[in-house]
């Protein structure tokens, strides 16, 4: 709840909670928006926050350590160090789009990639949003962080061939082998695989229920026979498919949160250079090349829109082009690898038949 700026519409918006529902008010100036917020929250207004960015960032990280994935915390810690080094420690109320743009220029001048700079800017926005949500700050001047994002080049989609998939699976043992098979046979993300709960897997129906943020609910994802076989191989050791003991409390069991070391060793043994996320790309790429339509792929992967799966569209087009080329060469008798004989005799003209209605 608070005041946010939307550069796309050049408006200031006040978000207020009323009878359990969010109510929005839009204004042309920040002064009008803040006046409305003070009117709606007379007891919550204590003046503009004097909190410093790094102090608020450290408090947010420490408070989220047991609620966010380990990789997220590590990413935040890295961004924290870069912000401390190159942006300093301004007051959270002083962070505005102009300050962010100057920071972007400085970081790009150091040869940092645009994707890295975008992650660091998003971290700053996350800290300020956290301050607004807890009531210590009224206005988030960089709410429209996407408008401040630097355009990133579209990278090449890395996916494995069928031979590479087989080599990677053969290069490891369970439980890592099962993790790889589930990911490449279903397209699940790393944390979706590692956090699989047995109570959300129905092997009889052949589905796993995964949380979909845009649906705000658990949605069924089909499990193919190879994926079910991988799950059945794993011993039943409690709630989690991939359990891990908590160091400070041996009686408590949680799910594994990382397989980076083991996965990197398996990748090296298979003579590959990929990340775990490439298994998701592998599933999506081969699904499209085998005829799965993009709408179905969107539902399976759990994307809110078609935009994220459009990157695979060209694979289907290329696969169709290759098939057409193969058929053309086969019909012309030039496909040496073809095992099917091409009929060279003229087709006899069928007699016309009449139908009485």
Q: What is the average pLDDT across 140-154?
A: 64
Can you give the pLDDT at residue 339?
45
Q: What is the average pLDDT across 278-286?
A: 88
Band (340; pLDDT cuts 50, 70, 90): very low
Residue with tokens 């040869």: 111
Q: What is the average pLDDT across 34-41?
A: 66
How many CB atoms within 10 Å of residue 331?
A: 12
Residue with tokens 């943020």: 213
**What percentage of the chain exceeds 70 in pLDDT?**
68
Q: What is the pLDDT of residues 252-265, one digit of tens each?
A: 667 778 888 889 99
Q: Which of 189, 188, 64 is nearest to 134 (CA)?
A: 64
Tell me the HSE value of 337 on the side-chain side, using a 13 A CA sphere.
Answer: 2
Select the highest-mean-pLDDT range: 34-43, 173-182, 290-299.
173-182
Lowest-pLDDT range, 14-23, 237-246, 274-283?
14-23
The whole-angstrom distance between residue 224's C-alpha and the CA centroid of its chain comes to 22
Can you give the pLDDT at residue 204?
87
Tell whether the model's pLDDT for residue 123 goes beyond 60: yes
The whole-angstrom distance between residue 287's C-alpha and the CA centroid of its chain comes to 18
Tell whether the model's pLDDT for residue 155 goes beyond 70: no
Q: What is the average pLDDT across 175-181?
A: 91
Q: Confirm or reject CATH 1.10.10.10 for domain 162-315, answering yes or no.
A: no
Can you give the pLDDT at residue 34?
64
**What percentage of the chain exceeds 90 in pLDDT?**
4
For residues 60 and 39, the model is more confident at 60
Q: What is the average pLDDT across 265-277?
A: 89
For residues 292 and 2, the model is more confident at 292
Same fold, 2-148 and 162-315: no
Q: What is the pLDDT of residues 40-94, one digit of tens each?
A: 665 544 444 457 888 888 888 888 877 777 778 888 898 899 988 888 888 887 8
| Second CATH level (architecture) for the domain 2-148 | Orthogonal Bundle (1.10)
Q: What is the pLDDT of residues 219-235, one digit of tens each?
A: 888 888 888 899 889 88
Can you give the pLDDT at residue 181?
92
Band (177; pLDDT cuts 50, 70, 90): very high
For residues 220 and 138, the model is more confident at 220
Tell whether the model's pLDDT for residue 346 goes beyond 50: no
Lowest-pLDDT range, 65-69, 146-150, 265-269, 311-315?
146-150
Can you give the pLDDT at residue 336?
52
The whole-chain average pLDDT of the chain stands at 76
Band (343; pLDDT cuts 50, 70, 90): very low
List of residues 6+ apart from 40 with CB closer than 8 A: 14, 16
Q: What is the average pLDDT across 328-348?
A: 53
3-state secondary structure the chain: CEEEEECCCCEEEEEEEECCEEEEEEECCHHHHHHHHHHHCCCCCCCCCCCEHHHHHHHHHHHHCCCCCHHHHHHHHHHHHHHHHHCCCCEHHHCCHHHHHHHHHHHHHCCCCHHHHHHHHHHHHHHHHHHHHCCCCCEECCCCHHHHCCCCCCCCCCCCCHHHHHHHHHCCCCCHHHHHHHHHHHCCCHHHHHCCEHHHEECCCCEEEEEECCCCEEEEEECCHHHHHHHHHCCCCCCECCEEEECCEEEEEEECCCCHHHHHHHHHHCCCCCCCHHHHHHHHHHHHHCCCCHHHHHHHHCCCCHHHHHHHHHHHHHHHHHHHHHHHHHHCCCCCCCCCCCCCCCCCCCCCCCCCC
- Domain ranges (residues) in the chain: 2-148, 162-315
For residues 205 and 314, the model is more confident at 205
């Amino acid at each position: 709840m608070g005041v946010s700026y939307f550069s796309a519409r050049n408006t200031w918006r006040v978000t207020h909670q009323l009878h359990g529902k969010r109510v929005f008010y839009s204004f042309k100036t920040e002064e009008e928006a803040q006046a409305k917020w003070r009117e709606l929250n007379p007891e919550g207004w204590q003046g503009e926050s004097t909190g410093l960015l790094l102090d608020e960032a450290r408090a947010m990280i420490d408070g989220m350590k047991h609620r966010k994935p380990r990789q997220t915390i590590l990413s935040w810690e890295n961004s924290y160090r870069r912000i401390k080094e190159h942006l300093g420690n301004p007051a959270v109320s002083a962070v505005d789009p102009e300050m962010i743009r100057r920071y972007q220029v400085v970081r790009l001048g150091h040869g940092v990639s645009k994707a890295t700079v975008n992650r660091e800017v998003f971290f700053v926005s996350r800290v300020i949003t956290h301050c607004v949500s807890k009531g210590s700050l009224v206005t988030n001047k960089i709410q429209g962080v996407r408008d401040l994002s630097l355009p990133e080049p579209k990278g090449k989609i890395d996916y494995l061939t069928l031979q590479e998939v087989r080599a990677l699976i053969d290069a490891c043992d369970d439980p890592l082998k099962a993790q790889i098979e589930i990911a490449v046979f279903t397209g699940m993300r790393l944390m979706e695989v590692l956090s699989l709960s047995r109570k959300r897997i129905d092997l009889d129906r052949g589905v796993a229920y995964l949380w979909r943020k845009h649906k705000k609910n658990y949605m069924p994802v089909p499990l193919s026979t190879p994926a079910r076989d991988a799950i059945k191989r794993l011993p039943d050791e409690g709630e989690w498919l991939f359990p891990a003991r908590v160091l400070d409390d041996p009686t408590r069991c949680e799910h594994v949160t990382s397989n980076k070391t083991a996965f990197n060793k398996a990748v090296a043994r298979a003579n590959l250079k990929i990340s775990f996320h490439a298994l998701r790309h592998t599933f999506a790429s081969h699904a499209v090349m085998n005829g799965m339509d993009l709408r179905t792929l969107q539902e399976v992967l759990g994307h809110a829109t078609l935009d994220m799966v459009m990157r695979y569209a060209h694979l289907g087009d290329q696969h169709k082009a290759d098939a057409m080329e193969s058929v053309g060469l086969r019909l012309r008798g030039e496909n040496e690898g073809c095992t099917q004989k091409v009929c060279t005799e003229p087709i006899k003209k069928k007699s016309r038949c009449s139908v009485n209605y």
